[in-house]
Structure 1
Amino acid sequence: MQTLDHNRTLDAKEWALTIFISSLPLIGIIMLLVWAFSDDANIHKKNWAKGTLILWIIGFVIAFAFLFLFGGIAILSQVFN
């Protein structure tokens, strides 16, 4: 029986599969959460998943900021026109 080594380096096939799975809609977000907060995940994959989630959150915050900023400007331009 193999023991799990949570500190081993992942090879190219494992990274390709990890990135492919994380790019799938809905399943990818769920898997990122599983990898980020699971105690059984490889430490490198766990850190990568946490970093990816942080980038997603920053992206959503910026997207919503632009949406409200430019959406508000568009609504105000229609109101005062």
Structure 2
Amino acid sequence: MSNLESYLAHGLGLLMEELKGLEEATEKVVEELDEAIAKLDERVEALEKRDHGYGHGSNTEQDDGAEGDDSGKSVEERRGVGK
């Protein structure tokens, strides 16, 4: 193997190590974002449940199914995930 080939092989090895590190860091960030989104989704659902009866007449009033009402949809459906 020539010096140039040896140098290029070494450089390629360093690049591959760096890419692996970046991939692992990216996966960690994605996992952290997924966890943060899940926590926010839980908070949104809790707030929707808490506020559902307020501002719409009495607390016992039933949902009239008005168009645009997405209270029966999952968080993913409201966010458009999976479309």
Gap regions ≥5 residues in structure 1: 9-41
Letter matched to residue 5 of structure 2? H
Distance in 1 of aligned mates of 2:9 and 2:21: 18
2:4 partner SS: coil
Q: Which residue of 2 aligns with 1:54?
A: 20
> 2: CA distance between counterparts of 1:60 and 1:54?
10
Distance (Å, rounded) in 1 between the aligned partners of 2:9 and 2:33? 36
Give the match's secondary structure for 1:7.
Answer: helix
Q: Percent identity, please.
A: 7
Instruction: Give, in whole Å, the separation in 1 of the partners of 2:27 and 2:37.
Output: 15
| RMSD (CA atoms) | 1.7
Any runs of at least 4 consecutive aligned residues in structure 1 with deviations exceeding 3 A, and if so which? Answer: none
What's the counterpart of residue 7 of structure 1?
6
Q: How many residues align?
A: 46
Task: Indicate the residue corresponding to 2:29 in structure 1.
Answer: 63
Structure 2: segments with no counterpart, 5+ residues: 48-83
Q: Secondary structure at the match of 1:77?
A: helix
Superposed counterparts of 1:64-79, under 5 Å: 64-79=30-45
Which has the larger Rg?
2
Question: Residue 4 of structure 1: CA displacement?
Answer: 6.1
State the Cα distance separating 1:65 from its structure 2 match: 0.1
Higher relative contact order (CA 8 A, sep 6+): 1
TM-score between both structures, scaled by the size of structure 2 = 0.49
